[in-house]
Amino acid sequence: MDPKKKGRWLVAAVLVAAGWFLPSLATSPSPAPQKREFDIVAHKYAYEPSIIQVNQGDEVHIRFSSKDVMHGFYLEGYDIDAVAEPGKTDIQFRHPSQTVLFTQAKEIVFKADRRGKFRYRCSFTCGYMHPFMLGVLLVQPNFLFGQAMGLMIGIFLAGFVLAWPSKPLPAKAEGVVV
Ligand SMILES: [Cu+2]
């Protein structure tokens, strides 16, 4: 490889590496997976809270209960279905793809291994507004936004360095080394 090209590749590689590493000096390190606990209370016709947010990889524990009548908690994308009876702390739980039978449980536990937005909705007919009983689980990527942005900028600059014309432009005098 001619030395000029080699130099460019080196500069490009340094830019990409700097884009990745520099933001991590300015901010805290990427969070490790955590145990996350939530209390979700169902009532006609809503969940409280109706939005929960975790990081990808977190172990999620949900204590699910009802204030008024029987309510369900079906979580899209995670194969989870639970039913809460008013006045009871224990729930009925199942993985719908595996069984139709519920078993008694203290809480809903799962690992948030899939990133994205997942709806939870009532799976037990509880009244005329039952189909509108919805909530959202947000699972965020477990890396720093700053680092991702830095990497993008690094790649962009590296592309710029590599694409820059290496021969003098025709308008320039021959033999002039810039
Ligand atoms: Cu319902």
Q: Give the model's pLDDT for residue 161.
A: 81
Task: Report domain extents, the chain.
Answer: 3-29+145-163, 35-140
Please give the radius of gyration of the chain, using alpha carbons only, rounded to the nearest integer.
27
Location of structure tokens 């199942």: 94
Q: What is the 110 CA–ligand 1 centroid distance (Å)?
A: 22
For the segment 51-102, what is each residue's pLDDT rounded down to a tens digit? 999 999 999 999 999 999 999 999 999 999 999 999 999 999 999 999 999 9
Q: What is the 72 CA–ligand 1 centroid distance (Å)?
A: 6
Q: Give the model's pLDDT for residue 144.
A: 64
Beta bridge partners of 43: 46
CATH 3.30.1490.100 fits 35-140, yes or no: no
Taking residue 7's Cβ as centre, other Cβ atoms within 10 Å add up to: 12
Among residues 76, 161, 147, the alpha carbon closest in space to that of 117 is found at 76
Q: What is the 128 CA–ligand 1 centroid distance (Å)?
A: 9
Q: Give the model's pLDDT for residue 159.
A: 83
Q: What is the 88 CA–ligand 1 centroid distance (Å)?
A: 17
Residue type (1 letter), 160: F
Q: What is the 64 CA–ligand 1 centroid distance (Å)?
A: 14
| C-beta of residue 146 within 8 angstroms of C-beta of residue 26 | yes
Beta strands in 77-146, from DSSP E residues, in sequence order: 80-84, 91-94, 103-105, 108-111, 116-121, 134-140
Q: Give the model's pLDDT for residue 145.
A: 62
Q: What is the 54 CA–ligand 1 centroid distance (Å)?
A: 25
Q: Give the model's pLDDT for residue 101.
A: 94
Q: What is the 58 CA–ligand 1 centroid distance (Å)?
A: 28
For the segment 130-167, what is each residue's pLDDT rounded down to a tens digit? 999 999 999 998 766 667 777 788 788 888 888 887 77
Residue 174 above 70 pLDDT? Answer: no
For the segment 116-126, what is each residue's pLDDT rounded down to a tens digit? 999 999 999 99
Q: What is the 126 CA–ligand 1 centroid distance (Å)?
A: 4
User: Which residues have CB atoms below 5 A from the ion given as ligand 1?
Assistant: 122, 126, 130, 133
Q: Give the model's pLDDT for residue 80.
A: 97
What is the reported pTM?
Answer: 0.68
Residue 28 above 60 pLDDT? Answer: no
Report the DSSP pairing between strands 91-94 and 103-105.
antiparallel
